[in-house]
Chain A
Amino acid sequence: MKATLAIQRGTPGEPSRIENFEVTFEPGQSVLDGLRALRCEADPSLAFRFSCINANACKECMMLIDGKVDYACTVRLKEGTTALSPLPKKALIRDLVTEIAPPDERLRPRQ
């Protein structure tokens, strides 16, 4: 089966752009599986956070999936288009990565 991921990309200070990627998947695979495959097959520069991969333990892969805040590791890939964008209320770092670290755990806490 094929899914299309419509991903909002860019850095602060430049207009964001939507890039579409097609990814082959097996039923049951997660959006994070799709993103990871995409880096290997199409564009390794795509930035997104993840750590525990599959367990929903690290809570780092939170993003906007079809307009809803969710975890990429638990939402399943589907046929057709899935829209992915960074969390809207957090400062953008790049692509799907936003500043989610607690302020006192950052290199520059006051930034």
Chain B
Amino acid sequence: MTAKANNNTAAAPAHIETDVLVIGAGGAGMYAALEAAKAGAAVVLADRSLIGRGGATVMAQMTVAAALSEQTPDHWEHHLTDTLAAGRGLCDERLAALLCEDGPHRLREMDGWKVGWAREDGHIKQAQAPGHDRPRCAYVDFLSTGPAVSRTLRAQLNLSSGIRRIGELVIVDIALRDGVACGATALHLPSGEAVTLAARAVVIATGGLTGLYRRNSASSNMGGDGYALALRAGAELIDMEFVQFFPIGHLAPRLVGMDPIMWDPFRYKLGGKLLNAEMREFEQDYATPDTRSDGRYVLTRDLATFAITREVEAGRGSPAGGAYLSFQHLPEAAIRSAFGPVVDRLAANCIDLTKRPVEVAPIAHYHMGGVRVDDTLRTAVPGLYACGEAVGGANGANRLSGNAITEALVFGASAGRNAARRALQNSSRWSAQAAQPALELLRGAERRDRPNPAALVRDLKALMADQVGPFRTEAKLQSALAAIARMKTEIGEVPFSSASAFDPVLVDWLDLRNMLLVAQSVAAPALARTESRGAHQREDHPGLDDSWCVNQIVALSRGNALELSRAAPSAGRAAA
């Protein structure tokens, strides 16, 4: 293969036709593809990474919440009550109800596909997690939940017919004809070629935006590109200001080969202690009557994040700027039994929990906000659907632990079904014209790599962590919005490129185009919301303000300006 100066000037781009295009092959995207194919649609499942390797699902080491009634009698309405309480008044009740009601079906389907839920006395074992009123969280043992879910769905993809999987395909924009989604334009990374995809329905399953933050627990490709695709296509975003920080992300010593949020299940199983620099437990100092303590976990995630940050600010933080997590009060045998083979992986990182504590600190973990959809997972754009973490609304201002994988499976299934139904009832709206704007963008790429786009991505992550993190002020948010505007000017409107095949400069530029729009979509509603609620904490506006029990909606105007509006949270139940 010889390197061409610019592959995109080639006469006609590769073109693919399908019924349903699913963008993103994490848990939600794979489930959407399976359900759409089951409904009889031809499916293309595209991912910018390798299929089933990127995204958040494969990283999830934790638990999956559903009212299975295996451990103890339960009903999905109890799960809904807990989900709505955690959401602090902002949940879209239709979506939350869909999540809770359909969750048990999806977990049982996964069980039938041999995901390997941990069992005890012949039943699926369900753990108690913070914010839940009873043991409700299934898991696969020894930090294997996410990898097991991914592996199981990949195996189902292999068994099903009608799903074409294409990895290493970066979607640049949704193609529109008369305001209807009719496909997409993409960059094929290994060849550097532009590819057009015609589809009668398009499903965004690209996950959240935690990749916008310096320390995060998701894959590098979780920079919120689906939100930018949706916005530019004319869809709306909701609750974008609510970014969940996971309180006890690993901080020090350096840990490689493991997910930074791995400590939670062990802390839960064994009662790991959170200590400040004085080696004193401090969680009780921050507990309030509404924290739904289960007796072992004192604080929900938002309050634990608050507690650790406050201790650090008060000069009682650990050396690396977090809190200590200690298991030293436990006998070695108890640690070995609970951690299993993980003990050896920790030893390889020079960590011996019987000898000393580790340091933990809040880390960007999940995004409650996302693409605004109705109860069929459809966006405001006909033919365009969203599912998984990319959807906003189900979790309101704060997500219950265990709801993310459930949401991926439930919303994935529903979006896949509904997209297939639409695709089979409508003829193709594709026209080559619909791909022109994105093709022209790619064709216009210039050979340059200054300013260094990789450094700009790094700087944007630092900016978001420092100024649009868990604790916000008007001054910080205004400064962030000004910096985002400056960075937009720096990258300009013409893509940078450095090579034809597998060009990281072009990918960074395309990412920045999306990330800067999404960063603005978080900072602007965060600035407007002059109260503290759930994961959005304003130091200059502490406490809930009842007049702010509304969702903020982000959209792009015809002139490409960001527009904010408000809407009352959707009530009522989805049709099951």
Contacts and interface: CB of A to CB of B under 8 A. Distances in A.
Interface string B247-258: 000000111111
B504 A13 contact: no
Secondary structure at the A interface, as helix, strand, loop or mixed, is: loop
Contacts of B253: 28
Most buried by B among A13, A55, A58: A55
A65 interface: no
B49 A44 contact: no
A19 B166 CA distance: 32
B53 A58 contact: yes
Interface residues of A, number: 45
A104 B220 CA distance: 24
Interface string A47-76: 100111111111110000000000101101
Nearest to B25: A105
A105 B449 contact: no
B503 A45 contact: yes
B499 interface: yes
B254 A55 contact: no
Contacts of A107: 14, 166, 168-169, 188, 190-191, 195
A73 B92 CA distance: 39
Nearest to B451: A44
B174 to A, nearest CB: 19
Contact of B49 (A13, A30, A40, A60): A60
Given A39-B454, A40-B454, A57 B14 contact: no
B197 to A, nearest CB: 11
Contacts of A74: 256-257
A22 interface: no
Contact of A40 (B51, B257, B452, B499): B452
Contacts of B53: 51-52, 57-60
Interface string B167-209: 1110000000000000000001011000100000000000000
B58 A57 contact: yes
A100 interface: yes
A13 B3 CA distance: 8
B2 interface: yes
Contact of B219 (A30, A52, A106): A52
A99 interface: yes
Nearest to B57: A57
A16 interface: no
B153 to A, nearest CB: 14
B357 interface: no
A107 to B, nearest CB: 5
A72 to B, nearest CB: 10
A45 B168 CA distance: 17
Contact of A94 (B147, B167, B257, B499): B499
A101 B147 contact: no
Interface string A1-24: 000000000011110000000000
A29 B146 CA distance: 25
Contact of B455 (A40, A58, A99): A40
A51 B498 CA distance: 21
A94 B168 CA distance: 14
A72 B2 CA distance: 28
B147 A76 contact: no
Contact of B254 (A26, A43, A45, A93): A26
A47 B454 contact: no
B453 interface: yes
A100 B190 CA distance: 11
A99 B259 CA distance: 26
A46 interface: yes
Interface of B: 1-3, 14, 49-51, 53-54, 58-59, 146-147, 165-169, 188, 190-191, 195, 219-221, 253-260, 349, 449, 452-455, 458, 498-499, 501-505, 508
Interface of A: 11-14, 26-30, 36, 39-41, 43-47, 50-60, 71, 73-74, 76, 93-95, 97, 99-102, 104-107
Sort A-B residue pairs by CB-CB distance and give the 10 closest, nearest first: A28-B254, A45-B498, A56-B257, A39-B454, A58-B53, A74-B257, A44-B454, A40-B455, A55-B259, A51-B54
